[in-house]
Amino acid sequence: MPFTPPSVDDVLAALASRFGDVESSVFRGQTRVVVPAAVAFDVLAWLKESGFDLLVDVTCVDYLDYPGATHRYGLVYLLTATGTNQRLTVRVFVDDPDPTVKSVVSLWRGADWLEREVWDLFGIRFTGHPDLRRLVMPEEFTAHPLRKDYPLQGRGERHNFPVITRDHS
């Protein structure tokens, strides 16, 4: 009897029986589930135990002024089951004024820098992260520049340096 991996549908059914109804959709063979922020960590922990053992990416979308959007930020967790080569996208929506979600660094060590990047550029706070510092912007930067309400040309940060002239150097 050859091994037949559980289908993504089976995983979703098990997920629904455990965490209540979760919204899910399929687009061109890629499955997406939306889970509430309150249980996001538990869902991701359970998914990891269920075979989705690889966290491919953590990223975020700002839905400010997006037509039909009901939430401000949409976190994206891309999971892969390395045993069965299945993929699953987990969406978690959070809102202002304090967009917060529980860190998954305790599940996947590789989430460390991914969450730091999301914190840096979108200002999503990951509670329980061991070292939530900025990743790409300078330490002193105060804004979160990939938010849609941040001006493209910045707020003067790129001009605020001492000028070194011929006399100074």
Q: Which is nearer to another protein, 110 or 145 (CB)?
A: 145
Please report how the helices 40-49 and 8-19 are oriented relative to each other, as an axis angle in degrees rounded to 10.
140
**Binding of another protein by 133 (CB under 8 A):** no
**Residue 57 CB, nearest approach to another protein (Å):** 21
Residues 22-51 that bind another protein (CB under 8 A): none
Instruction: Give the span between the Cα atoms of 80 and 57, in whole angstroms.
Output: 10
Instruction: Give the span between the Cα atoms of 125 and 32, in whole angstroms.
Output: 23
Kindly tell me which residue out of 20, 49, 83, 141 binds another protein, with binding defined by CB under 8 A: 141
Tell me the pairing of strands 86-94 and 73-81.
antiparallel
Give the three-class secondary structure for 120: helix
**Binding of another protein by 168 (CB under 8 A):** yes
Which range in 14-22, 58-66, 87-95, 155-163 contacts another protein by CB under 8 A? 155-163
Q: Which is nearer to another protein, 20 or 154 (CB)?
A: 154
Which range in 1-9, 81-89, 112-120, 137-145 contacts another protein by CB under 8 A? 137-145
**Binding of another protein by 17 (CB under 8 A):** no
DSSP string of 13-46?
HHHHHHH---EEEEETTEEEEEE-GGGHHHHHHH
How buried is residue 121: exposed, middle or buried, by Cβ count under 10 Å (0-12/13-18/19+)? buried
Q: Which is nearer to another protein, 1 or 163 (CB)?
A: 163
Binding site for another protein (CB under 8 A): 136-142, 145, 150-155, 157-169
